[in-house]
Structure 1
Amino acid sequence: MAQPTAATTTSDGYAEGRTDTETVSRTLATSESGLEVTVFDSIRSISAARWNEVVERSTCGSVFHRYEWLEAIEAGLGKTPRHLVVEKDGNLIGLLPNFVVDIEKTPFRRLSSSYPGFGGPLVTTDVAESLSLLAEAVPELCTGRTVVHQIRGLDTKYMRYNNYLQSEGYEPYRRECRFVLDLTQGYGEIYDGMSKTRRRGIDRGTDGDYEIVEEELTRPNLERFHRVYEQVMDRVDGDGYPLSFFERLLDMRERLLLLTIRIDGEYAGGFLELLDEQRSSIHGFFAAVPEDYFGDHASELLYDYVIRWGIDNGYDTYDFGSTNANFENGVFRFKEGFGGRILPILVWERGCSPLWKMLKAGRSLYWPHRYE
């Protein structure tokens, strides 16, 4: 494998200073049966076609595992990749995408599979041995200030690995949830299953002068969306993503749906949805509706539109995205009103440093509303 020249070394033992044409990887282990596990410090070191083939063949594969999403995190957010792959006779059979990310309000970091979004291992054959190799490789990636490995599974399909993960020292951690709406029941039943407040919001909104448009995925349209998105994130004191991340997402534009709403002829925000054809699901990942248009029920109208759009285009589910598992939370109550089924976000954590126990104890005080 090609190694970088004129590179410096980080405290984690990896090289910096790589150009886009240079590859940094190292083989971590080879089993007696010939399986080989390798760590790559860039998704661009691997063929997109080879990577996505494993995603598409895997039971647990999703849009968040795809090459294009991971490349947007790397290039658009500047997150440090530590992707593990398993090969057999030169064929890619297993993946575990990872990024090194900061742990909020601490000097420490975690190795996350994956963030933003969801991750976890994907294995197409030799499952038990491949999982074992991946699990054994993780501690080698958790050095210095990286004290824990976290797996964020998209849905309950990842329960198939629960017992195995716990046997490898991973502990379940439940703090977030999702509301998932079954689109196959049809719009009439979905509308009837909404709360009175949500139905009233949709009905009142439709009485106004509004228009919802499916926008072309161009940079100017994305920049306009992002300007409002930044304003919304500033208002709620949230950690928004930079424009560079959204620009990188244009490489997967066929898996995006950009909706904008105009009220009384004025731009009133929009949604950027992720289309997960493999799971037949739409993910409500990015919303940008200014507070000025809450009274016009712009959010309810956008949700109503994308639900109808999903039904018309043959999707099975609409995923409202992550929220705190706290019934007192305003976002939780708002999403709950659309009648979706509440599902826990499956997270497993494995400490890789003695410091993790201390950090974990402090976290229980910082986040008192914790649901296991």
Structure 2
Amino acid sequence: MAQQTGGSGRSSLHRIGSLFANRDERSAGTAESSLEVDVVDSVRDVGKSQWNGIVERSNRGSVFHRYEWLEAIETGLGYTPRHLVVTKDGNTIGGMPNFVVEIEKTPFDRLSSLYPGFGGPLLPTDTEESLERVIETIPRLCRGRTIVHQIRGLDMSYLRYNDALQTHGYRPYRRECRFLLDLTGSYDEILEGMSRTRRRGIEHGQDIDYEVVEEELTRENLQRFHRTYEGVMDRVGGAVYPFSFFDELQAMDDRLLLLTIRIDGEYAGGMLELLDDEHETVHGFFAAVPREYFDDHASELLYDHVFQWGIKHGYETYDFGSTNTNCEDGVYRFKEGFGGSPVPVLVWERGCSPLWPLVKAGRSLYWPYYT
């Protein structure tokens, strides 16, 4: 369940020690290794420059790992942080963000790296030993109602950890995928790669009176977008992030792109994109177009604009965000029509409680394709 972290004023960093063969609770400084693993109850206890330094040194660091995104989740969503920090000889050399979030349709929680978004370990140096220490720390963080740890890797590079994760009891599943569109070619090549339906949608939309505007990230503009987003998510039965989360995202305004489409002078929806400069990718994370503008092809026009914007600003990939892996699903077919390549979302889970197998079995009843 979403929980607020305490505000007692005491330090939120707890030394849990490096995890050596003797498994004692002493400080990590021994002759065997100088690595230490700490758990912090707020990313603020690490500090912006120090945490983002880890992200920038790691090949797997992304916009979702950055301090600002983690702080928005912690403050705007109220999820309980359990971030791991790896130090060596007193220097921070790696980390892994984690939040406690609810398991849908159960009274239990999972420890997730990372949700919302994609996470996983960032271990640019001493990788093998650091990964071992981090993995062995996780069971200490999964207590009470928290019965499973989940890692959601952003890209295929996380496959490098697969053998180590499975050795420690993590099991992969493939319930989601993402469509990635190559922006390194010309705009005409992107159009040629689309389905006939998507191309015609853009062509027909261009016959109407419309404009797409890059908005300032003011509170007023975000509130207008959020009202539309909330209405769309209510209509489709999706989970709605509160406005407090969007409000906190203003701290990373240099990594956000807010687009508005106006049709016949009226507000017709928009998109809030995340700019992943670490991977030269634009992530389509939030979109909100009311049903009454479907026939005007407002969605196709917004996507068409952001593709051209990405090319112009030197981004290499457009990421449509997660969808299920059912090719009969309307969202899957809609995204597929823009010509992107489907890639699996890499997820590993490790049960930390005898209750996990029962919850997993029960979950398969409403997700029959879950493995």
User: Fold match, TM over 0.5?
Assistant: yes
Off by >2 Å, runs of 4+ in structure 1: 14-17
**What's the CA shift string for 1:233-254, capped at 9, x where partnerless?**
1111111111100010000000
Output aligned runs, 1:1-372, within 5 Å: 17-19=6-8, 21-30=9-18, 31=28, 32-370=32-370
Q: Residue 283 of structure 2: SS of its match in structure 1? A: strand
Distance in 1, matches of 2:59 and 2:292, equals 43
Residue of structure 2 equivalent to 1:10: none
Distance in 1, matches of 2:326 and 2:46, equals 40
Distance in 2, matches of 1:17 and 1:321, equals 33
Q: Residue 347 of structure 1: SS of its match in structure 2? A: strand
Q: Residue 201 of structure 1: SS of its match in structure 2? A: helix
**Deviation for aligned residue 1:34:** 1.1
Query: Does structure 1 retain, via aligned residues, the 8 Å contact 2:101–2:110?
Result: yes
Query: Does structure 1 retain, via aligned residues, the 8 Å contact 2:171–2:350?
Result: yes
**Deviation for aligned residue 1:46:** 1.0
Q: TM-score, normalised by structure 1?
A: 0.94
Distance in 1, matches of 2:367 and 2:195, equals 29
**Deviation for aligned residue 1:24:** 1.5
Amino acid at match of 1:316: E
Distance in 2, matches of 1:168 and 1:93, equals 22
Distance in 2, matches of 1:99 and 1:123, equals 18
**What's the CA shift string for 1:149-202, capped at 9, x where partnerless?**
000001101111111111111111110000000000221111001001100100
Distance in 2, matches of 1:359 and 1:217, equals 41
Q: CA RMSD in A?
A: 1.4
Q: Residue 157 of structure 2: SS of its match in structure 1? A: helix
Distance in 1, matches of 2:240 and 2:362, equals 25
Distance in 1, matches of 2:10 and 2:57, equals 29
**What's the CA shift string for 1:295-341, capped at 9, x where partnerless?**
00000000000000000110000000000111111100100000000
Query: Does structure 2 retain, via aligned residues, the 8 Å contact 1:111–1:150?
Result: yes
Q: Residue 122 of structure 1: SS of its match in structure 2? A: coil
Amino acid at match of 1:311: I
Distance in 2, matches of 1:145 and 1:108, equals 5
Amino acid at match of 1:260: T
Distance in 2, matches of 1:366 and 1:144, equals 25
Amino acid at match of 1:28: I
Distance in 2, matches of 1:248 and 1:364, equals 35
For residues 16 and 122 of structure 1, do their structure 2 counterparts lie closer, same or farther at Cα, with a shift above 3 Å needed? closer
Query: Does structure 2 retain, via aligned residues, the 8 Å contact 1:25–1:41?
Result: yes
Residue of structure 2 equivalent to 1:5: none
Distance in 1, matches of 2:292 and 2:240, equals 20
**What's the CA shift string for 1:82-117, capped at 9, x where partnerless?**
001100122111111000000000011100001000
Distance in 2, matches of 1:186 and 1:326, equals 30
Range 197-206 or range 183-192, more displaced = 183-192
Q: Residue 123 of structure 1: SS of its match in structure 2? A: coil
Range 341-350 or range 358-367, more displaced = 358-367
Distance in 2, matches of 1:276 and 1:124, equals 19
Amino acid at match of 2:12: V
For residues 190 and 156 of structure 1, do their structure 2 counterparts lie closer, same or farther at Cα, with a shift above 3 Å needed? same
Query: Does structure 1 retain, via aligned residues, the 8 Å contact 2:4–2:79?
Result: no
Query: Does structure 2 retain, via aligned residues, the 8 Å contact 1:174–1:345?
Result: yes
Q: Residue 26 of structure 1: SS of its match in structure 2? A: strand
Flag structure 2 segments of 5+ consecutive residues without an equivalent. 19-27
Query: Does structure 2 retain, via aligned residues, the 8 Å contact 1:26–1:38?
Result: yes
Range 283-292 or range 27-36, more displaced = 27-36
Residue of structure 1 equivalent to 2:22: none
**Deviation for aligned residue 1:256:** 0.3
Residue of structure 1 equivalent to 2:23: none
Paired positions, count: 358
Distance in 2, matches of 1:90 and 1:305, equals 48
**Deviation for aligned residue 1:364:** 1.8
**Deviation for aligned residue 1:29:** 1.7
Distance in 2, matches of 1:338 and 1:110, equals 34
Query: Does structure 2 retain, via aligned residues, the 8 Å contact 1:209–1:264?
Result: yes
Distance in 1, matches of 2:187 and 2:224, equals 31
Distance in 2, matches of 1:298 and 1:90, equals 53
Query: Does structure 2 retain, via aligned residues, the 8 Å contact 1:155–1:346?
Result: yes
**What's the CA shift string for 1:200-235, capped at 9, x where partnerless?**
100000010000000011111111111111111111
Flag structure 1 segments of 5+ consecutive residues without an equivalent. 1-13
Q: Residue 16 of structure 2: SS of its match in structure 1? A: strand
Amino acid at match of 1:164: A
Distance in 1, matches of 2:86 and 2:305, equals 42
